[in-house]
Chains A and B, each alone.
Chain A
Amino acid sequence: MKCLQAVGAVILSLLRELADENAYRRHLVMYGRIHSAEEWRRFSDERSKAKYSRVKCC
């Protein structure tokens, strides 16, 4: 059961990483800010700028 829970936690964490939700959480902690629509937009714009200046794999 513990093993299944661990696998589930890793999968959920992976999904959050792919969704940039983990990165957003880290961003809030790093800069000591709280979540707001404006903060998310600022984070998302900055992240997208870096993300979509790199090639995507074929």
Chain B
Amino acid sequence: MPQATATNVAAPWGFKRILGQLLWAAVAVVAAFCLAGIALNREEHINSVWLVLASGCTYALGYRFYARFIGTRVMALDNRRATPAERLKNGHDFEPTNKWILFGHHFAAIAGPGPLVGPVLAAQFGYLPGTLWIIIGAVVGGAVQDFVILFASMRRDGKSLGQMAREEIGKLGGFVALLTVLMIMIILLAVVALVVVNALAGSPWGTFTIAATMPIALFMGWYLRYWRPGRVLECSAIGFLLVVAAIFAGQWVAESSTWAPVFTLSTVALAFCITIYGFLASALPVWLLLSPRDYLSTFVKLGVIFLLALGIIFVRPELQLPAFTRFTDGTGPIFAGKIFPFCFITIACGAISGFHSLISSGTTPKMIAKEQHACPVGYGSMLLESFVAVMAMIAACVMQPGVYFAVNSPAGIVGATPAAAVATISSWGFPVGVAEMQQLAQSVGERTLFYRTGGAPSLALGMAHIFARSGGGQAVIGFWYHFAIMFEALFILTIIDAGTRVGRFMVQDLLGHVHSSLGRTSWMPGVIATSSAVVLAWGYFLYQGVRDPLGGINSLWPLFGIANQLLAAIALCVATTILIKMHRARYVWITGVPLAWLVTITFTAAWEKIFSPAPRIGFLAQAAQLEAALSSGAITGAGMAQTRTLIFNARLDAVICGVFLVLVAVILVDSMRIWGGILRGSRESRVAEAPFVLSRLQAEKI
């Protein structure tokens, strides 16, 4: 009888296990088959379903096996251990939260324009390199970074990356982390502002829609503050309806002979408008503009990402771009540089992004109810972000290659007239015609789609194409295009206003050591001075971008990519140090391999950006070329002053790139010194974790 019982218990368990193994084996086969399919296909257009399946199955395998291995063997996640959310519960920051709610919360925090714009730009190499980097980079790099930093912060009462760097590596590490974040913020704000400027330049429809979001945000702020306090969802729903109405009104504005010229702005005018907006949003009370806009943009962002996923699954579009283009050799029109290392720094968010480490060591660790929830929240959210990047790649690649290059190439590369541009692009083997581009522009309510660099317009075109095929057809493509532009601009502007504010706090924090008044966030002269300093800093780079004959993206996006990946390198240095201190040196490859890869690509890219002899790649070579043109007398009159500015800008970019390198080299050497000391036994290996407290929380009740 006891024997029979044992058999009864063992049989279903054994059957389930075998079934599970068979299922995962099937997932592995599908992943391998799809990855091989997209990697080896050269002859015909590939369907986007291959990318969806390849990424989905690889993520599932990574989550099921690699993340579980890290969670159990390396970090030893322990649900008996009370998390900071339980121990320090205060109803505000520290609050045990349902893991799926926290998953969505964390995903909403990490999902920005990066995973949307980066893949669109990297598509100039073809769909394959970017897609493989997004999938593999996320599974073995980005998700691991987010997961380990989230775990480390959770074990340290929700400390920030800078605090952990200071405690685990040293004071120098902490200071370098703070300085790097501030510098990256400046470049980030400039580059995302440039994306918006290039999307709205010469577009009265788009400009009106985005301009209308400001009074809408003010109305929402007033509504929430005085009319219906606390009704955020209700207010956001009204705000969304008003924004949709603004998109329809934008079409009327674009067709009006009176209003269209008012909202048809040049890149320079838009750059000034955005800079002034950044200043106002940074200095005004948060409830008036920033907070309501942030709520709205978060909901719109999540909704559009969900819609895009549904659209891709429903339409299953074919990719028109080839697996590889001729521009793997470094002569790409969108940005110059070979596939290695530039593909890997162009796509940062979506594969691995240093900025995520700031989020993983921010709000999220204070809300985790149980330690094992760090796996779906930290690792899982990054996989979803990576899938967003795959969708952006699909949206970019569903366009005809000629159209993609006509939209994304600057006039300085393809020629200043549409006829010259189509001739140049067609000569590359990507046929496109002026009439075709004109018809496309008309269908989406734009005057022209040539030279719309920055990635946002081409992404909007791809998304509009997918949405229109899901329902409504060509009749509604104009609406969807401007809906997509609104979606991109809305949350980019939220990043600009929140980022300027955070930059202001960082500067005030630093200046507070010099003069205590400057550190006070309530002292208005200090607020105005520091807001102005931050706005002028990113505004300068934005202005540099819009005046750049090569489109600005060519120099600013790689700078941003390098900076972001270097921040990831800092985060991985901290993570590796913590693993070594936890006596997990035999698993150090988990963070060590992505760190080594990041150091290799960022240092190579930064070196090339500074010292490459090709003027389109190397900042110093570009400055030397312009200087030679100036001294030879080839440039005269007003062009001379502009050329001098370009020379100064190229040298400034080289210096910034160099500073990034030095900062990260400092933190890397400092970390290696500590690793060596611990491994040799000459340094004490003490982790700064909060002490173990037994959890009394029942996770299933959350």
Contacts and interface: CB of A to CB of B under 8 A. Distances in A.
Interface in B349-394: 349, 353, 355-356, 358-359, 362-363
A55 to B, nearest CB: 5
Interface in A42-58: 44-58
Interface stretch (B331-339, B401-409, B457-465, B494-502): B494-502
B104 A57 contact: no
A47 to B, nearest CB: 7
A54 B362 contact: yes
A4 interface: no
B291 A19 contact: no
Given A21-B232, A48-B287, A52-B290, A27 B91 contact: yes
Interface in A8-57: 10, 13-21, 23-24, 26-27, 29-31, 35-37, 40-41, 44-57
B229 A41 contact: yes
A22 to B, nearest CB: 8
A29 B90 CA distance: 11
B230 A24 contact: yes
A56 B111 CA distance: 9
B192 A58 contact: yes
Contacts of A24: 230
A52 B232 contact: no
Interface in B504-531: 505
A16 B516 CA distance: 39
A16 B299 CA distance: 11
A36 B355 CA distance: 37
Nearest to A35: B230
A48 B225 CA distance: 13
Contact of B105 (A18, A49, A51): A18
A14 to B, nearest CB: 4
Contacts of B291: 44, 48, 51-52
Contact of B91 (A21, A31, A53): A31
A18 B92 contact: no
A23 B95 contact: yes
B115 to A, nearest CB: 9
B92 A50 contact: yes
Contacts of A54: 358, 362-363, 502
Contact of A18 (B95, B104, B110, B224): B104
**Majority-rule SS of A interface residues:** helix
A27 B293 CA distance: 23
Contacts of A47: 92
Given A52-B290, A57-B111, A19 B236 contact: yes
Interface string B257-296: 0000000000000000000000000000011001100010
A55 B100 contact: no
Contacts of B229: 36-37, 40-41, 44
Nearest to B295: A19
B67 interface: no
B93 A19 contact: no
**Majority-rule SS of B interface residues:** helix
Nearest to B362: A54
Interface string B90-104: 111101011011001
By size class, the interface of chain B is: 35 or more
B299 A57 contact: no
**Max chain B Cβ within 10 angstroms of own Cβ: one of A31, A44, A55:** A55
Interface string B637-648: 000000000000
B289 to A, nearest CB: 11
A18 B108 contact: yes
B148 interface: no
A50 B505 CA distance: 11
A55 B181 contact: yes
Contact of A30 (B90, B111, B185, B295): B90
A56 B112 contact: yes
B564 interface: yes
A10 B99 CA distance: 10
A29 B499 CA distance: 32
A2 to B, nearest CB: 16
Nearest to B235: A19
B233 interface: yes
A39 B111 CA distance: 31
Contact of A21 (B90, B233, B287, B505): B233
B109 interface: yes
Given A10-B101, A24-B230, A30-B90, A57 B349 contact: yes
A25 B302 CA distance: 23
A57 B100 contact: no
Interface string B207-225: 0000000000000000011
A58 B230 contact: no
B565 to A, nearest CB: 12
B233 A14 contact: no
A47 B93 CA distance: 9
Contacts of B97: 17
A23 to B, nearest CB: 7
Contact of A10 (B98, B232, B501): B98
A21 B372 CA distance: 26
B654 interface: no
Contacts of B101: 10, 13-14, 17
Contacts of B98: 10, 13
Nearest to A40: B229
B353 A57 contact: yes
A-B pairs, top 8 by smallest CB distance, nearest first, are A30-B91, A19-B232, A40-B229, A14-B104, A48-B286, A58-B114, A40-B230, A37-B229
5 contacts: A14-B101, A18-B299, A44-B291, A53-B505, A54-B358
Given A13-B101, A58-B188, 9 more contacts: A17-B101, A18-B295, A23-B92, A23-B95, A27-B91, A44-B229, A54-B502, A55-B185, A55-B362
